[in-house]
A = this chain, B = another copy of it.
Amino acid sequence: MFTPQPTTTARRSPLSREEVLHAAIRLADEGGIAELTMRKLADKLGIQAMSLYHHVANKDELLDAMVDAVFREIEVVTENAPWKPAMRQRAVSARQTLLRHAWALGMMESRANPGQATLECHDAVLGCLRRAGFSVALAAHAFSVLDSYIYGFVLQELNLPFQNPDDLQRVSGSILQNLPADTYPHLMEMMTAHVSQPGYAYADEFMFGLDLILDGLEQALGVRTQPDGCVALTGSG
């Protein structure tokens, strides 16, 4: 009753696919991926659920586009930069981006349709490595090990039951109390002697592993490039 379409003209302004995409990302950032339903997304945009389907084919396509948008946020500075700081900086940026959009990693597992930004990102990384003298095979190795590390680290970081050092103190304290002391002795030692110390933050572990990998790649590169290598440690098995 009372014919509720006076707002039609006002609402009729824009609403592009881009807006839908960004609203979806904002919704997932704020409430987790489970909060992202077509109805709630429509609500947030002030329209009905079915109207979304004028802008995206279906929810799956929307999710694909969201993942690609995340890749677009990762900074890849490769112009004339030495490969090691470039890769280091990209790893840091990738980690920050994936933490900012905690839902993104979990979605990568299930969708195999890389978007344009994803491909561009990968191409830039490979280009940086090739320009630095990596063989095609070594570039593939480097790409694989670096991305695996980044994704895996963030996956573990997201899996932690705390997001900041204060949480950590509280959580580890409560775990310590609830567990019989000798069931997991080494886990216990790790918590009491290391993790629960003031100043510890799991995020700091990122740089250790990243530099370990970059140094390893540098050696692998050097073994090929300068054959006087007194350090040839790669490959143990």
B219 and A186 form a contact (CB under 8 A): no
- With A215-B234, A236-B215 already in contact, the answer to whether A145 and B149 are too (CB < 8 A) is yes
Instruction: Select one of B112, B123, B208, B233 contacting A186, CB under 8 A.
Output: B123
A139 cross-chain contacts in B, Cβ below 8 A: 186, 190
B208 and A145 form a contact (CB under 8 A): yes
A38 to chain B, nearest CB (A): 17
Bound Cα distance A204, B216 (Å): 18
A150 cross-chain contacts in B, Cβ below 8 A: 152
**Which residue in chain B gives the minimum CB-CB distance to A200?**
B140
**Which residue in chain B gives the minimum CB-CB distance to A88?**
B237
A205 to chain B, nearest CB (A): 4
Q: Mark A139-183, 1 if CB is under 8 A from B, else 0.
A: 111001101111111011011110000000000000000000001
Bound Cα distance A220, B216 (Å): 12
Bound Cα distance A1, B219 (Å): 77
- With A123-B184, A212-B216 already in contact, the answer to whether A190 and B158 are too (CB < 8 A) is no
Q: Mark A214-236, 1 if CB is under 8 A from B, else 0.
A: 11111110000000000101111
